[in-house]
Amino acid sequence: MSWGWSLWVMFLVVLNLGITFFLFLWAPRAKVPVQPDGTSGHVWAHGVLREGVRRLPRWWLLLSGLMFAVGFGYLALFPGFGRWPGLLHWTSHAELARDQEANAAKLDELMQRFAKYPIEQLAGDPAAEQLGWRLFEDNCAACHGREAKGNARLGAPDLTDRDWLYGGDGQAIYASIHDGRSGVMPPWASLGEDNVKNLAQYVLGLSGAPHDAARAAAAKPLFATCAACHGPDGKGNPALGAPNLTDRVWLHGGSVADIEATIRGGRQGHMPAWSPRLTDDQVRVLAAYVYHLGHRGDATPQ
């Protein structure tokens, strides 16, 4: 704080405390003119209500005096009076640093224990689950939702359905979080609108959903183009992040209009890398939590 602002703050403190302290000392001794009946002379309701004049109660004086003592004591001990650091030399930065150091010591002990177990086993540890939940809320919930159910509008997958674009084992999930993922589905509008509609029906048929069999049959030869990524049977390819088209799990929506839009315009997905923000130990715990989300009830506890 500059000296100019410091002097301004000191002036305001002295002014406000000085005025209020003067009134506190003066009020009990002030002589208020009263009528013979002990009232001030102010009346309402045609004289039915009259304003009485009484001394301030002792408890009020004692409590107010105590508050002034606390206020003066605070300004002496802690910063608040301009650039005065206070007798205790307390700062919020120092307190934050102490709290962070104490928290880091607790976390370090936990992380050392967590490092002994593979991610799949760590998913069953209650302490790891609690820490992973906090990390998930702070970093992942904005896209995947607090319940991790995903967001079709953003292309953020549901993390609770056991369907994994890049693999669902611990190391694959760790890699997704640590390094990020980028997926591209090229647009196929060049095939023509009629072929786009036919392919949408074929994809619906792969998942066993109701579809137009004639259009699906017409699109079967065209699917050879898609098979390069999704495989000849449409089961997907985790190495490329190409989704399984047979399991009725849809990243961008499974309606006819959604599938047609995906084929026609393509899709682009980006999962940012969290290694610049999170430590490797934090990524492991977060990966264990995500693994837990997709394997509720069957993760092996320690």
Q: Are 240 and 189 found together in one domain?
A: yes
Nearest to 292 by CA among 56, 141, 119: 119
Residue 227 pLDDT > 90 = yes
pLDDT beyond 80 at 301:
no
Which of 33, 62, 77 delimits the end of a domain? 77
Mean pLDDT of 207-236: 94
**Residue 185 labelled as part of a binding site:** yes
**Any residues with CB less than 8 A from the CB of 199 and at least 6 apart, and which?**
188, 191, 219, 222, 223, 226, 263
pLDDT bracket for residue 297 (50, 70, 90): low
Same domain, 177 and 252: yes
Mean pLDDT, rounded, for 234-247:
93
Considering the domain boundaries, does residue 89 fall inside one?
no
Whether 52 is covered by a domain: the verdict is yes
Residue that finishes a domain, picked among 77, 101, 133:
77
Please check whether residue 285 lies inside any domain of the structure: yes
Average pLDDT over residues 182-194: 94
Q: Is 252 annotated as a binding residue?
A: no
Work out the average pLDDT over 255-284. 95
Tell whether 211 is in a known binding site: no
CATH number of domain containing 189: 1.10.760.10
Q: What is the pLDDT of residue 242?
A: 93
Residue that is last in its domain, among 77, 101, 134: 77
Tell whether residue 10 is among the known ligand binding residues: no
Residue 271 marked in a binding site: yes
Q: Mean pLDDT over residues 147-161, rounded?
A: 92
pLDDT tens digits along 53-72:
888 889 999 999 999 999 99
Q: Has residue 223 been placed in a domain?
A: yes
67 domain-assigned: yes
Q: Is the pLDDT of residue 300 over 50?
A: no
Instruction: Tell me: pLDDT of 147 over 80.
Output: yes
Is residue 225 in a domain? yes
Determine the pLDDT at residue 36.
85
Mean pLDDT of 152-169: 91
pTM score, whole prediction: 0.70
- State residue 62's pLDDT score: 94
Res 118 pLDDT > 60: yes
The neighbour count for residue 288, using CB atoms within 10 Å, is: 28
**pLDDT value for 302:** 42
For residues 69 and 139, state if they share a domain: no
For the segment 122-129, the average pLDDT, to the nearest whole number, is 94
Q: Is residue 190 part of a domain?
A: yes
Structural domain total, the chain: 2
Whole-number Å distance between alpha carbons of 56 and 260: 80
pLDDT at residue 245, as a whole number: 95
In a domain, 212, yes or no: yes
Residue 121: domain span: 113-295
